Structure 1
Amino acid sequence: MPESITDPTSTATPSSGRGSGLDRYFHVTERGSTISTEVRAGITTFLTMAYIIFVNPSILSNAIDVEGAFPQLLTVTCLAAAFGTLVMALWANLPFALAPGLGLNAYFAFTVVGGLGYSWQTALGAVFVSGLLFLVISLTGLRQWILEAIPLYLKHAITAGIGAFLAIIGFAGAGLIGDSPDTLVTRGDWTSPTLWLAVGGVVLAGALLARRVKGALVIAIVAVTVVAMVSGLEVYPGADGPVAFPGFTDGVVGFTWPSDLVGALDIPAALGTGVLSVVFTFLFVDFFDTAGTLIGLTDKAGMMDEDGTIDAPMPAFAADGLATSVGAVLGTSSTTTYIESAAGVEEGGRTGLASLVVGGLFLLAMVFAPLASVIPEVATAPVLVVIGAMMMTSVTKIDWTDVTQSVPAFLAIVGMPFTYSITDGISLGIIAHVAIMTLAGRVREIRPVMAILAVLVAWRFFVLG
């Protein structure tokens, strides 16, 4: 297990070990890594989550009605991602990246603004307030109480559930599955060359990992991207559907300052009584998404001890709260830790140096966005499937013969991909744990914090909807 990083001050000052300044500052050698490994891990993480640079603006532009919304939101997305990831790198010293979260941005655009009728400025204010509350939770003992209250078996289930969640995202991106009005989900068009390109990416990534080739995941992403570009396969988003690689018709450099978005949030309106439920939803989903992701990633990185204590210190959570509030000031929805960071962890990333690389690449992407658009979803989907498979090893640490463990664990694992939500999967596991233990006559074994969490998640389901 790598050096403990529970004390945040230990990650913010150089160690006395030998090596370069980067090595000492990030404790690279002490955690069994190398600078080249961290750089490679950072590139891998960035490539797997670069899609958010374009997806986030496309979603939020449905709610934020200003002229030139898309390019402004693209800049804001990169700035928020870079800020949060750099905080994670320089303060928490963890190889995890942040960006505006999928799901939360859809809730912002289609529910808060589109459905409830609040202005996008008020919605940004609600995001800002939720970020501050998240920061308060992070800086107090409440964060640790919650993490320690979650049973060890459920933490392992969360890790496996995140793996399943990554896999279903990869399956959808590869075209292996599609939606169905009769069966909800069905297989995709298995005659499509695009699908078999993605399958080839899965095989290539798996083979390279089996042969312990350095940069296996990056090689797989680049290989699939090159084939997609030169073959003319229609894998890039277009106005009327997928198109072949369109080339750089507008050049590779472009930058738009988000003058209509920065500082546009309306905090007083967000503190109104009717908006508090929106604030709570932003906070609840963001916290549990972050908690679940950090549990899964630290478990995958070998940073969880036998008692379930994870090396995710206060700064890891504080980075999320800070990034959410700063992102709201810039003009985007909640910023959160990304499960795609597992790709960098699989490449060997163990320190904040990997996150430093990711943050730097987001800043570059803000100016060279057309280059980032070269990576199609079909190239990153195979990596997500492979990483999902690797994270499923955590199920071996669950006692499946004990029903009080197996049922809540199973609900958490399958709940994440089936509901397409980390938070909902964790919520199902928490409710099932408390209910089954209570009815089994083992109430005294339930930690009070878990009982409170069960009430809160049930309240979110039945009251907030």
Structure 2
Amino acid sequence: MDESTEPETHDRRRREAEPPGPGAPGGSRGRPRGRLFGVLDRYFGLTEAGSTIPREARAGLVTFLTMSYVLFVNPQVLGAAIDVPGAQVQLLMATALAACFGCLVMGVFARYPFAQAPGMGLNAFFSYTVVLGMGLSWETALGAVFISGVLFIVLSVLGVRQAIVMAIPDSLKLAIMAGIGCFLAFLGMRNAGLVVTDEATLVTLGDLGEPTAWLALVGLGLTAIFLQLRLKGALLWGIALTSFIAVVSRAEVYDTGEDSLSVFPGFTQGVVSTPVWPSDLVGQMDLAGALGIGIFNVIFTFFFVNFFDATGTLTGLSQKAGYLDSRGNMPRAKTTFSMDGLASMFGAFVGTSTTGTYVESASGIQDGGRTGITSVVTAMLFVAAMFFWPLVTVVPGAATAPVLILVGAMMMDGIRHINWDEVSEGVPSFLTILAMPLTFSIADGVSVGIISFCVIKLCTGGFRHVNFVLYIVAALLILRYIFFS
């Protein structure tokens, strides 16, 4: 497929529900004027996407707010394994740099509203399994992340990732989108304290009297009302109003680095804070050590998990945004997948674990983001966070949790198109949706779906209707669970 081909389908319902913007066909002010706007319109396809710069900017801000927690959570996780002077500050800056670069290349070159940042699952694998568990140095672990990124790009350029995505049936693509929605909702409910761990039942209802829980419920109700009223920027207004309630009510929902949550501490570092260059992290990856034969399993695991996590996430987000054409193909797929690998390489270079596409990008897409401008705005906000990061602390996790829950609910829309009467279609789809939140892994959800789909088809005479590439993938997945789990 021509890499320059623009998306052929978009979220028409949203465009019909909202008045056309100044850059949309049929807008009351005609075609946009201004040389700069014209350049952006031609390159990013604003008019064809039925979007406008203000809408894209707003979506970029929503995406940033829903994933800004990475600036604080990632340093905490990696700080358990990386011991350098001022580790938390340096890791925060490295996280911001990696997120900025990932969002920028995805927005400028792939031209999609998909935000990238260091992933939450692989950072735990990096710290607790590879470094603390296996005893490898964090420099060697960074080298393994870098090499996995190189493999990403090679397979993307060769079209292998594209071939795998094309081989996945439509039912599984829809299930992946719904599974990501369930994953998002579960993540939001966990962050809000609405769902907590229980030894007897694994999970149970949290204490609704806790500040984080009741504030999230208030935010959930308010944001749902805004969405029902079709308020523009409903998700952003929900985050802003919930954060305002948290501050004025002095709710103890802010993590200040202590063992317990506290009220908003104010801007103790001032509103503007001078960035610190992560000199002890940048360029410290040990490629020679990572190429050692003994850690092949580490490189493979980094590569495998991120491959299917990113592939599943990108497929689900593309389905949500309406980018897949009638054959289920994503335009500019090679470029998009390559940017995913490039972001991982850069992240390892600046000193953080694997960088990948965030499912929280769905919040910006839901708010109207349709082009790469959304990701560019998100990248700019990560840069701003390096200077104004105290401002980010005014948004607690309880304010972004409702957005994750609501976006998750909206991503369930596609399952009505799955042929549930056909067992070979319905069961793998169901397992895909169920496995993602229960295993807390998008990659495992995709894997379970692909394996079960191939096995059922193979055993019931429908093997000729399955792309041969998918059988190869299923076999590799089975081998991975046998030898590398």
| TM-score, structure 2 as length reference | 0.92
Q: In the alignment, does 2:358 pair up with 1:320?
A: no
Q: In the alignment, does 2:57 pair up with 1:39?
A: yes
Give the Cα–Cα distance (whole angstroms) in 2 for the partners of residues 90 and 139 of structure 1. 18
Q: Kindly tell me the number of residue pairs found equivalent between the two proteins.
A: 456
Distance 1:222 1:404, change over 3 A: same
The Cα offsets for residues 203-227 of structure 1, whole Å up to 9 and x where unpaired, read as 2111111211111000000000011
Distance 1:120 1:55, change over 3 A: same
**Residue identity opposite 1:340 in structure 2:** E
**Equivalent pair of 2:159/2:334 in contact (CA under 8 Å):** no
Give the Cα–Cα distance (whole angstroms) in 2 for the partners of residues 379 and 464 of structure 1. 38
Which position in structure 1 is the counterpart of 2:91?
Answer: 73
Which position in structure 2 is the counterpart of 1:411?
Answer: 431
Distance 1:63 1:265, change over 3 A: same
Unaligned segments of structure 1, at least 5 residues: 12-16
Which position in structure 2 is the counterpart of 1:7?
Answer: 3
**Residue identity opposite 1:203 in structure 2:** G
The 5 A counterparts of 1:57-72 are: 57-72=75-90
Which position in structure 2 is the counterpart of 1:14?
Answer: none
Offset, 1:194: 3.1
Which position in structure 2 is the counterpart of 1:381?
Answer: 401
Offset, 1:80: 0.5
Which position in structure 1 is the counterpart of 2:131?
Answer: 113
Unaligned segments of structure 2, at least 5 residues: 8-30
**Equivalent pair of 1:83/1:323 in contact (CA under 8 Å):** yes
Which position in structure 1 is the counterpart of 2:185?
Answer: 167
Give the Cα–Cα distance (whole angstroms) in 1 for the partners of residues 289 and 419 of structure 2. 49
**Equivalent pair of 1:414/1:425 in contact (CA under 8 Å):** yes
The 5 A counterparts of 1:51-450 are: 51-238=69-256, 239-252=258-271, 253-311=273-331, 313-450=333-470
The Cα offsets for residues 38-78 of structure 1, whole Å up to 9 and x where unpaired, read as 01000000000000011111100111111111111111100
Offset, 1:18: 5.3
283-292 or 125-134: bigger deviation: 283-292
Distance 1:312 1:299, change over 3 A: farther
Q: Secondary structure at the match of 2:370?
A: coil
1:452 to 449, 472, 475: 472
Distance 1:293 1:185, change over 3 A: same
**Residue identity opposite 1:458 in structure 2:** I
Give the Cα–Cα distance (whole angstroms) in 2 for the partners of residues 250 and 36 of structure 1. 31
| TM-score, structure 1 as length reference | 0.96
Offset, 1:105: 0.5
**Equivalent pair of 1:18/1:24 in contact (CA under 8 Å):** no
Give the Cα–Cα distance (whole angstroms) in 2 for the partners of residues 312 and 55 of structure 1. 32
Give the Cα–Cα distance (whole angstroms) in 2 for the partners of residues 298 and 427 of structure 1. 19
The alignment's C-alpha RMSD in Å is 1.5
Give the Cα–Cα distance (whole angstroms) in 2 for the partners of residues 202 and 18 of structure 1. 36
**Equivalent pair of 2:3/2:331 in contact (CA under 8 Å):** no
Q: Secondary structure at the match of 1:259?
A: coil
Give the Cα–Cα distance (whole angstroms) in 2 for the partners of residues 389 and 46 of structure 1. 20
